[in-house]
């Protein structure tokens, strides 16, 4: 228990795990977890009410990232809100795979489809400062957040613009096209735990494959010779995605498992 009585009272007013209450208190008081244990100021009534309210929202399933408006991804702390999908650690694999295949001096171009917060595009841009990165999203609300994150880190080599997949790309061709598209079936039981996140960024028709199929079909027109397409997909979609790529004449099709051992990314060249 804390020596601070006004803090101790807060732990009795919610059923949330202590670790999560600590994080919410730190957020409201604008301190880190180390500072929490030596905090000796009185917590105001207004702060207490805010902490209790946020604890209740968290108990109801509101993701912590939406409470704080921040989510860490790669080396960045990104702004998020209800319009953006919360970036996941497994999506960092897309960044890793691009970096493994390019040198620090890589000066080619990369397209990020469905950029959301800008997580993938901005992470690659920081690591490959000579590369030119285009990043699209259908949602203008997402693009506003992505632009905020770009400005926050003063990243110059990314341009964000609105597009329904390849609609506004023109005739440009890329060395790499990367995407974490919607791929969850709209009947999937996991959606209940994702109820606060934008459904359009999560689900896709045709067993979750509709957007993946559209990207695979149209990416061929926007890849340079031996250009690479990289797709994140669902835990049970590896075989389907590999077949779709092979049927459409992609080559060197490979899949990669995430840290949990789940097939998560499939890449191919054209």
93 & 183 share domain: yes
Cα distance between residue 135 and residue 227, in whole Å = 17
167 & 41 share domain: no
Residue 107 lies in a domain: yes
When divided into structural domains, the chain yields a total of 2
Residues 6+ apart with CB under 8 A from 88: none
Over range 91-99, report the average pLDDT.
97
pLDDT digits (tens, 9 = 90+) for 7-55: 777 777 778 888 899 999 999 999 998 888 888 888 899 999 999 999 9
Question: E strands within 74-204?
Answer: 76-79, 109-113, 132-137, 158-162, 174-179
Give, rounded to a whole angstrom, the gap between the first and last alpha carbons of the chain.
Answer: 60
| pLDDT category of residue 3 using cuts at 50, 70 and 90 | low
pLDDT digits (tens, 9 = 90+) for 191-200: 888 888 888 8
112 & 246 share domain: yes
pLDDT at residue 15, rounded to an integer: 81
Residue 68 lies in a domain: no
- The answer on pLDDT for 1 being more than 70 is no
pLDDT at residue 112, rounded to an integer: 98
44 & 106 share domain: no
Q: What percent of the chain has pLDDT over 70?
A: 98
- The answer on pLDDT for 230 being more than 60 is yes
State how far Cα 226 lies from the chain centre.
Answer: 27
Residue 261 lies in a domain: yes
Over range 237-244, report the average pLDDT.
98
194 & 225 share domain: yes
102 & 44 share domain: no
Residue 27 lies in a domain: yes
CATH number, residue 33: 1.10.8
Q: Which domain holds residue 28?
A: 5-60
pLDDT digits (tens, 9 = 90+) for 110-119: 999 999 999 9
40 & 87 share domain: no
Over range 154-174, report the average pLDDT.
97
123 & 234 share domain: yes
- The answer on pLDDT for 5 being more than 80 is no
Average pLDDT of every residue of the chain: 93
- The answer on pLDDT for 267 being more than 70 is yes
Residues 6+ apart with CB under 8 A from 59: 14, 15, 16
pLDDT at residue 177, rounded to an integer: 98
127 & 250 share domain: yes
User: For strand 263-269 and strand 251-257, is the pairing parallel, antiparallel, or unpaired?
Assistant: antiparallel
| pLDDT category of residue 4 using cuts at 50, 70 and 90 | low
- The answer on pLDDT for 186 being more than 90 is no
Residue 66 lies in a domain: no
- The answer on pLDDT for 64 being more than 70 is yes
| pLDDT category of residue 141 using cuts at 50, 70 and 90 | very high
Cα distance between residue 200 and residue 138, in whole Å = 10
Over range 166-170, report the average pLDDT.
96
pLDDT at residue 75, rounded to an integer: 96
């Amino acid at each position: 228990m804390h020596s601070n009585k006004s803090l101790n009272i807060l732990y009795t007013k919610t059923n949330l795990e202590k670790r999560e209450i600590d994080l919410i208190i730190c957020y409201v008081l604008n301190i880190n977890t180390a500072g929490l244990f030596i905090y000796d100021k009185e917590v105001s009534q207004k702060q207490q009410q805010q902490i209790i309210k946020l604890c209740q929202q968290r108990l109801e399933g509101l993701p912590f990232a939406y409470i704080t408006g921040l989510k860490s991804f790669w080396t960045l702390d990104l702004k998020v809100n209800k319009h953006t999908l919360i970036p996941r650690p497994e999506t960092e694999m897309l960044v890793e795979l691009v970096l493994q295949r390019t040198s620090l001096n890589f000066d080619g171009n990369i397209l990020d489809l469905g950029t959301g917060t800008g997580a993938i595009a901005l992470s690659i841009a920081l690591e490959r400062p000579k590369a030119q990165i285009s990043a699209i999203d259908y949602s203008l609300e997402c693009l506003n957040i992505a632009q905020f994150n770009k400005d926050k880190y003063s990243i110059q080599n990314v341009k964000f613009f609105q597009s329904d997949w390849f609609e506004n790309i023109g005739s440009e061709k890329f060395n790499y096209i990367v995407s974490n598209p919607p791929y969850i079936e709209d009947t999937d039981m996991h959606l209940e735990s994702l109820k606060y996140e934008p459904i359009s960024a999560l689900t896709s028709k045709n067993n979750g494959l509709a957007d993946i199929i559209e990207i695979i079909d149209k990416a061929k027109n926007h890849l340079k010779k031996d250009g690479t397409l990289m797709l994140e997909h669902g835990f049970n979609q590896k075989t389907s995605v590999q077949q779709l790529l092979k049927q459409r004449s992609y080559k060197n099709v490979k899949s990669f498992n995430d840290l949990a051992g789940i097939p998560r990314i499939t890449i191919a060249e054209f």
